[in-house]
Copies of this chain bind each other. A is one copy, B any other.
């Protein structure tokens, strides 16, 4: 049976409960075990820290999907000043699973885009669990072209299980809408920084990840398809998702090792939601530094670098 929920914190809380009971009991029996308890407590904390430094790929997937994990809107509101959300694809609708607008970071105007998951069922029905329809990708295309017009850098925040697989999405051209964003971003004449904040799922995530710099939060993942889907398709056994998670090399560290991600932004022990402010502040600093670096690069050179970077992804042998 595949574990569907990241339950380490629950277990840890149970352990802590037992520990407190033990302390209580020892106090009532007037055993002086202060030093031992101190050691024990430190050891427990160490083990927890160590655990979070050594999560399995599957655990990272579960953590990246954690219901308390900060959403893209949380990050945007913390990191950027003067955020003004823009709506609509001018063609069919406004996709609430994909948000976009303009804002500034340390005084520099930028265009910001991101997948929006909800917190709780109601919000998630509103945002379709962060799974965009074609109108979401067309909104992105519209806003990035506007960013280019106004010479405004683009920052994207990636957090989606994937583009929505549904009848309406197919009717309105999900494939083409994603493809166009990929093509447009590849040659957009302004700097682009992307961050995977949570779940980077498939082509629907990739459409916001074509960039000059790709950052990943340390517990985020980025995968060609969900581990469940891969296990079910390749091994005909969705139950082997955990094993598949490792095979796919989808953790932030894997993606960096593959030469796709540039930087990992460390989350606090327990994950981003355990200390949102700190995480968001870290991310802001990284975004700011990367933006400064990219703005210092001559524009033609920047585009050349972006192309070279994309063009050389992949490994093969040639006879």
Which A residues form the contact surface with B (CB < 8 A)? 90-92, 134, 138, 171-173, 176
**Assembled-state Cα–Cα distance A98/B60 (Å):** 52
A92:B92 contact, CB within 8 angstroms? yes
B residues in contact with A90, CB < 8 Å: 173, 176
**Assembled-state Cα–Cα distance A286/B92 (Å):** 40
Q: How far is the CB of A302 from chain B (nearest CB, A)?
A: 25
8 A-B pairs besides A90-B176, A91-B92, A92-B171 with CB distance below 8 A are A90-B173, A91-B134, A91-B138, A91-B172, A91-B173, A92-B92, A92-B172, A92-B173
> Binding site of A, secondary structure by majority: helix, strand, loop or mixed?
loop
Q: How far is the CB of A262 from chain B (nearest CB, A)?
A: 33
**Assembled-state Cα–Cα distance A207/B79 (Å):** 44
Q: How far is the CB of A179 from chain B (nearest CB, A)?
A: 10
**Assembled-state Cα–Cα distance A90/B138 (Å):** 11
**Assembled-state Cα–Cα distance A71/B171 (Å):** 30
Q: How far is the CB of A139 from chain B (nearest CB, A)?
A: 13
- Across the A-B interface, the 3 shortest Cβ-Cβ residue pairs: A90-B176, A91-B91, A92-B172
B residues in contact with A91, CB < 8 Å: 91-92, 134, 138, 172-173
B residues in contact with A171, CB < 8 Å: 92
Q: How far is the CB of A59 from chain B (nearest CB, A)?
A: 41
**Assembled-state Cα–Cα distance A138/B176 (Å):** 15
With most chain B CB atoms within 10 A of its CB, the pick from A91, A92, A172 is: A91
Q: How far is the CB of A167 from chain B (nearest CB, A)?
A: 14
Cross-chain pairs A/B with CB under 8 angstroms, 12 sampled? A90-B173, A90-B176, A91-B91, A91-B92, A91-B134, A91-B138, A91-B172, A91-B173, A92-B92, A92-B171, A92-B172, A92-B173
B residues in contact with A173, CB < 8 Å: 90-92
**Assembled-state Cα–Cα distance A138/B172 (Å):** 14
Q: How far is the CB of A183 from chain B (nearest CB, A)?
A: 13
**Assembled-state Cα–Cα distance A134/B138 (Å):** 16
B residues in contact with A92, CB < 8 Å: 91-92, 171-173
B residues in contact with A134, CB < 8 Å: 91
**Assembled-state Cα–Cα distance A172/B171 (Å):** 14
B residues in contact with A138, CB < 8 Å: 91
**Assembled-state Cα–Cα distance A173/B92 (Å):** 7
- CB-nearest residue of chain B to A180: B90
**Assembled-state Cα–Cα distance A66/B223 (Å):** 61
- CB-nearest residue of chain B to A89: B91
**Assembled-state Cα–Cα distance A172/B93 (Å):** 8
**Assembled-state Cα–Cα distance A90/B177 (Å):** 9
